[in-house]
Amino acid sequence: MAANYWSSSQRLHWQMSREKLAEIRHNLDAQDEKAVQAYPLPSYRQLSIFFNSRTACPSQLIRLGRRMQVRQQALATAQLYVRRFYTKVPIRDTNPFLVMATCLYLALKMEECPQHIRIVVSEARSCFSDIMPAYPEKLAECEFYVISELNSYLIVHHPYRTLQELTPILNLTSEDNSTSWQVINDSCVTDLPLIYPPHIIALTAIFLSVVLKSSPSQTSLHTTAAAAAAAAAAVATNPVANVPAIPANTGGDFNGGGASTNLSGNGQGQQQNRVGRLIEWYAESKVDMEAIIDCTQEIISLYEVWESLPPQAEKVFKEQLCKMVKQRGIS
């Protein structure tokens, strides 16, 4: 069961449409409208960036994971546990910092790289000293709470495996592979793992890493990705058609918090051919190009929001959450 995504609990119980996810979150907020009004919080996307981002100032969960030298796959599992948990429980009824530490502790067990509960609590206290309970018993209690809300469906399938399998098939360079890996990491900050299968996210990451070869400006980023998405859709509709021309990136500096797209190229013509061959391979493989286009737009939108956040956003978000936890008496 664990080796087959198509019959896994992830697909059967934790994959949903955008509309269903939005409805779930709306219903959670509606459970206690007074609390929603009394304790305004950032948007779900902004909170996700605060919890999970990999910017120059790492987010809360990433900071904790780095202190504990956690492997990336275990960290991605913890990120997905947090996201799943908050489709079941209103965030205002919890201590998010305790939930993050608990999900990381649980993910380390599931990914077979466990760490002692006292170490997790100690490191979490170092990261969230003003809001993290000091006693391991609190984390152990929260662990049972998380497992119960997740209905004990804890096995997670990640896109990293698909990326590794397709690297030789698609002749990806080490730089392509590295950038694809970073895009997959960034996808954990979005709702994509709750909406699409892991292989779709991996194919999106490869698509972006090959299409966005140089370090584009924000305008070039959107122009290139939009043109590539249009080309992919055209070939998916008519595989024998010629691949439409995709504009070359013109340089610039994209300073979003996401993956670096500074990859080497051997000339505009050769890069155009690479993109064309990749899109044709996708079309011949009968990949769901509409899903890949949607994922591409989601990732680019994430980077856009990342860039727009002011430098003091992390401090403001943390103050809002700490105020909520303390005033509501949540331990």
pLDDT in tens, 19-68: 999 999 999 999 989 999 999 998 888 888 888 765 544 578 888 998 99
Q: Which of 64-68, 200-204, 286-290, 315-319 has the highest mean pLDDT?
A: 200-204
What is the model's pLDDT at position 205?
A: 94
45 versus 234: the higher-pLDDT residue is 45
pLDDT tier at 137, thresholds 50, 70, 90: very high
Task: Give pLDDT, residue 223.
Answer: 54
Q: What is the pLDDT of residue 272?
A: 72
In this prediction, residue 264 carries a pLDDT of: 44
Mean pLDDT of the residues in the chain: 83
146 falls in which pLDDT band (50, 70, 90)? very high
- Looking at residues 92-97, what average pLDDT do you find? 94
Higher pLDDT, 293 or 145: 145
pLDDT at 228: 58
Residue-level pLDDT at 202: 97
- pLDDT at res. 305: 86
Structure confidence at residue 261 as a pLDDT band (50, 70, 90): very low
List the one residue out of 13, 39, 48 whose CA is nearest residue 301.
48
Task: Give CA–CA dist 317/331, Å, rounded.
Answer: 19
pLDDT at 93: 95
CATH superfamily of the domain spanning 9-156: Cyclin-like (1.10.472.10)
Q: How many CB atoms lie within 10 A of CB 275?
A: 22
Residue predicted with more confidence, 132 or 53: 132
What number is the average pLDDT over the span 122-140? Answer: 92
Q: What is the pLDDT of residue 19?
A: 96
Of the candidates 300, 233, 224, the residue with the CA atom closest to the CA atom of residue 265: 224
Q: pLDDT class for 237, splitting at 50, 70, 90?
A: low
Amino acid identity, residue 41?
L
User: Using CA atoms, how far apart are residues 55 and 307, in angstroms rounded to an integer?
Assistant: 10
Mean pLDDT of 137-160: 96
Q: Is 73 a residue whose pLDDT tops 50? A: yes
Domain spans of the chain, in order of start: 9-156, 160-308
State the pLDDT at residue 263.
Answer: 39
Which pLDDT belongs to residue 203? 95
Q: Would the pLDDT of 253 be above 50?
A: no
Neighbours of 98 (CB within 10 A): 24
For a pLDDT cut of 90, what percent of the chain falls above it? Answer: 54
Q: What is the pLDDT of residue 128?
A: 87
